[in-house]
């Protein structure tokens, strides 16, 4: 596994471990050198310095004994001779401990022959000194001088040669040990320097790699965060490590992709809302024009009904002219039947238009509901994004407010349409009654020649029926005027919704996504335009007047749904 793919924690532990290992290696080398130097010093002290010191003391005592004996023998004084004998015996008593110290040291192969020769010469000198001190103790000064001159001097010279040879050998061995220790110290220092250089270089290399990987990943994260804050989404992120910063970059990449998807969806939804609002506004304008035409037709119908009423009254007053009036009434009744049929058709168109308006408002309500859901999802995603999603959360809140306002307007339109549908139903019933009355009038006129006696009563009935028809037509005119006002309000609401959709599109345009994503959003928008709004409008246009009762039965459920949506 590559060093860059390890976690930051593991890389720090490896770097510190390498530095610690180098410190341990250098420390162990230093401890080993100290131990080696300590052993060398201990060998020099215990096996060279201490025995050399003991040997030098023994040699000095031998020289002192020799000098004391020579002085006492040359003085030929009994007092000095006795003092010399006591001094020689005292010094000989301390030599055993010194010689034991000398022989207790660990001597080398080269030292042991010299030490044995020294022991022989020293023992011979002690024997000769003992003979000389015996002569001095007997106050035989001549014999003492002879022994000292003939034997002790030669023994002393031999002992001196042995001591000098031992000292020279130990000095040479100490010099050799010093030279070896110096070379060992130099080699150990070189190894320590190399170890420190390797440790320093390796630790610096690991530190540089660690710092570069951290700063590079942090720089990439800062660049992505700045681009997201500036509204530039779908940023290319190169992830070269698998550590904590690599996982951070992966999280930033997923967040960037999610934000781009949300912006793309909101952009497509806002475009769909704008398109639907434009289509609704266009449909409302067309509906307003047709409603005005219906109002004009109703005015003409009302005028015709007034004329018909005057004619019927005139027929009742002129019973003597029954035949002529009957023919005239028949013609007028037929014309009235045609007008009533037209009125029925007009009311059916009014009912159909009301159903169209209801379906369009339902579509507005559904679009507002979907927009609110998208805004809510966008707010949730922005909240997850934290500080970077604050601006997007504001946009989502504005979108949600616009959707709620559109839903409120849709609810008001539904209420007005429900009232209009109810009034149209009443007008339809009145028109039906008018048609049936006119049919009765036509039948009565056809039989007028046979029942001239009943002309007066029939004329009264016709007059009453015409009054009812006139009243119904007036009510239809009022309802039509109300429908025209409702259509104007619906048109204004759709234009307001279109403006709000444009505001939403401008706010979403702050974010920049890839061209492919934008094209995909446009394709979704066209699908919504082709599959939703026109299809719904065509289905509304195909509804017939016979569905009026079903519409009235469904109105409470729609009102309840609108109330639930308003609560949401």
pLDDT (tens digit per residue) in 236-278: 777 766 777 777 778 878 887 888 788 778 877 877 877 877 7
pLDDT digits (tens, 9 = 90+) for 26-38: 777 777 777 766 6
Whether 1 shows a pLDDT value over 60: the answer reads: no
Q: Of the candidates 442, 177, 202, which has an alpha carbon nearest to the alpha carbon of residue 326?
A: 442
| Residue 526 predicted with pLDDT over 70 | no
Which pLDDT band holds residue 549 (cuts at 50, 70, 90)? very low
Give 382's DSSP letter.
H
Predicted confidence at residue 46, as pLDDT, reads 54
Q: Which two tokens stand for residue 434?
A: 């008018």
Secondary structure (3-state) at 512: strand
pLDDT of residue 556: 44
Looking at every residue in the chain, the average pLDDT score rounds to: 72
Q: How confident is the model at residue 223 (pLDDT cuts 50, 70, 90)?
A: confident
Average pLDDT for 159-170:
79
Q: CB neighbours of 305 closer than 8 A, spacing ≥ 6?
A: 336, 339, 466, 469, 470, 473
- Report CA-CA distances (Å) from 54 to 48, 142, 159: 10, 33, 14
| Chain segment 259-269, per-residue pLDDT in tens | 878 877 887 78
CB 495 within 8 A of CB 281: yes
Question: What confidence score (pLDDT) does residue 527 get?
Answer: 42
Query: Does the pLDDT at position 522 exceed 60?
Result: no
Q: Which residue has the higher pLDDT, 122 or 42?
A: 122
Predicted local distance difference test score (pLDDT) of residue 478: 76
- How many whole angstroms from its chain centre is CA 55? 85
Nearest to 361 by CA among 418, 314, 291, 414: 414
pLDDT of 518 reads 42
Structure token digits, residue 547? 């569905």
Residue 534 — very low, low, confident or very high, per pLDDT cuts 50/70/90? very low
Find the mean pLDDT for residues 111-133: 79
More confident residue, 215 or 565: 215
Could you read off the pLDDT of 456-509 as tens digits, one per residue?
A: 677 677 767 777 777 877 777 777 777 777 777 777 777 787 777 777 777 767
SS (H, E, C) 257-320: HHHHHHHHHHHHHHHHHHHHHHHHHHHHHHHHHHHHHHHHHHHHHHHHHHHHHHHHHHHHHCHH
Give pLDDT, residue 373: 80
Dump pLDDT digits (tens) for 62-84: 777 777 777 777 777 777 777 77
Q: Which residues contact 296 (CB under 8 A, 6 or more apart)?
A: none
Q: Is the dihedral of CA 132, 135, 139, 143 positive or negative?
A: negative
| Angle, helix 390-446 to helix 244-317, in steps of 10 degrees | 20
Q: Name the token pair of 337.
A: 């039947």
| pLDDT over threshold 50, residue 519 | no
How far is residue 261's CA from residue 377's CA, in Å, rounded to a whole number?
12
> Which is more confident, 539 or 50?
50
CATH of domain 257-567: 1.10.287
Name the percent of the chain lying above pLDDT 70. Answer: 73
What confidence score (pLDDT) does residue 523 get? 40
Q: In sequence order, what are the beta bridge partners of 232?
A: 512
Q: Is the pLDDT of residue 117 over 80?
A: yes
CB-CB contact of 422 with 296 (8 Å): no
- 257-567 and 3-224 share a CATH fold: no
Q: How far is Cα 72 from Cα 335, in angstroms, rounded to an integer?
A: 188
Query: What is the residue extent of each domain of the chain?
Result: 3-224, 257-567
Enumerate the β-bridge partners of residue 419. none
pLDDT of residue 269: 80
Of 345-354, 443-452, 538-547, minimum mean pLDDT range: 538-547
pLDDT tens digits, residue range 400-451? 787 778 778 877 887 887 777 777 777 777 767 776 776 777 677 677 666 7
| 406 Cβ neighbours under 8 A, 6+ residues apart | 364, 367, 368, 371, 493, 497, 500
Segment 43-52 mean pLDDT? 62
Nearest CA to 165 out of 242, 52, 85 is that of 52
How many beta carbons lie within 10 A of that of residue 566, not counting itself? 13
Averaged over 190-219, what is the pLDDT?
Answer: 80
Residue with tokens 């504001």: 394
* pLDDT band, very low/low/confident/very high, at 540 (cuts 50, 70, 90): very low
Out of 1.20.120.430, 3.40.50.300, 3.40.50.1000, 1.20.120.30, which CATH number does the structure's domain 3-224 have?
Answer: 1.20.120.30
Confidence at residue 464, expressed as pLDDT on a 0 to 100 scale: 76
Q: Please report the pLDDT score of residue 340 as a whole number.
A: 67
User: Which residue reads 């006591």 in tokens?
Assistant: 86
> How many C-beta neighbours within 10 Å does residue 62 have?
24
Give first-to-last CA distance, the chain, whole Å: 54
Answer whether residue 196 shows pLDDT above 70. Answer: yes
């Amino acid at each position: 596994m590559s060093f860059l793919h390890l976690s930051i924690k593991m890389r720090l532990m490896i770097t510190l471990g390498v530095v610690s290992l180098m410190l341990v290696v250098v420390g162990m080398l230093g401890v080993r050198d100290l131990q080696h130097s300590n052993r060398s010093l201990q060998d020099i002290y215990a096996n060279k310095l201490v025995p050399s010191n003991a040997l030098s003391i023994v040699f000095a005592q031998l020289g002192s004994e020799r000098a004391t004996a020579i002085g006492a023998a040359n003085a030929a004084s009994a007092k000095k001779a006795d003092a010399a004998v006591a001094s020689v015996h005292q010094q000989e008593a301390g030599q055993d401990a010194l010689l034991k110290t000398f022989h207790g040291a660990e001597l080398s192969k080269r030292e042991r022959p010299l030490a044995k020769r020294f022991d022989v010469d020293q023992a011979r000198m002690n024997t000769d000194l003992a003979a000389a001190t015996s002569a001095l103790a007997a106050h035989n000064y001549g014999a003492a001088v002879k022994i000292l001159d003939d034997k002790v001097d030669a023994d002393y010279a031999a002992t001196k040669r042995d001591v000098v040879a031992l000292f020279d050998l130990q000095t040479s061995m100490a010099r050799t040990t010093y030279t070896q220790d110096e070379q060992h110290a130099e080699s150990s220092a070189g190894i320590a320097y190399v170890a420190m250089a390797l440790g320093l270089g390796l630790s610096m290399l690991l530190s540089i790699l660690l710092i570069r990987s951290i700063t590079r990943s942090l720089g990439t994260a800062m660049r992505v965060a700045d681009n997201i804050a500036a509204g530039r989404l779908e940023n290319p992120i190169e992830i070269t490590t698998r550590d904590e910063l690599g996982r951070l970059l992966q999280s930033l990449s997923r967040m960037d992709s999610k934000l781009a998807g949300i912006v793309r969806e909101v952009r497509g939804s806002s475009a769909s809302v704008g398109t639907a609002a434009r289509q609704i506004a266009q449909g409302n304008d067309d509906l307003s024009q047709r409603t005005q035409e219906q109002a004009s037709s109703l005015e003409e119908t009302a005028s015709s009904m007034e004329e018909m009423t005057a004619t019927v009254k005139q027929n009742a007053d002129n019973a003597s002219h029954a035949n002529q009036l009957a023919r005239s009434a028949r013609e007028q009744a037929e014309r009235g039947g045609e007008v009533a049929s037209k009125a029925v058709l007009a009311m059916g168109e009014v009912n159909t238009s009301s159903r169209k308006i209801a379906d369009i408002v339902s579509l507005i309500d559904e679009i507002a509901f979907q927009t609110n859901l998208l805004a809510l999802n966008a707010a949730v995603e922005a909240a997850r994004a934290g500080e970077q999603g604050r601006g997007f959360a504001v946009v989502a809140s504005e979108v949600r407010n616009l959707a709620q306002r559109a839903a409120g307007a849709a609810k008001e339109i539904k209420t007005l349409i429900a009232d209009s549908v109810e009034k149209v139903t009443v007008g339809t019933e009145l028109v039906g009654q008018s048609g049936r009355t006119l049919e009765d009038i036509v039948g009565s006129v056809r039989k007028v020649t046979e029942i001239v006696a009943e002309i007066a009563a029939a004329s009264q009935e016709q007059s009453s029926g015409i009054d009812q028809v006139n009243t119904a037509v007036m009510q239809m005119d009022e309802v039509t005027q109300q429908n025209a006002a409702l259509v104007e309000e619906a048109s204004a609401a759709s234009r307001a919704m279109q403006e709000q959709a444009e505001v939403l599109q401008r706010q979403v345009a702050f974010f920049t996504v890839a061209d492919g994503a934008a094209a995909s959003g446009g394709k979704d928008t066209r699908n919504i335009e082709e599959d939703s709004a026109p299809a719904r409008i065509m289905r509304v246009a195909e509804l017939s007047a016979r569905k009026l009762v079903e519409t009235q039965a469904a109105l409470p459920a729609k009102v309840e749904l609108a109330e639930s949506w308003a609560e949401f």
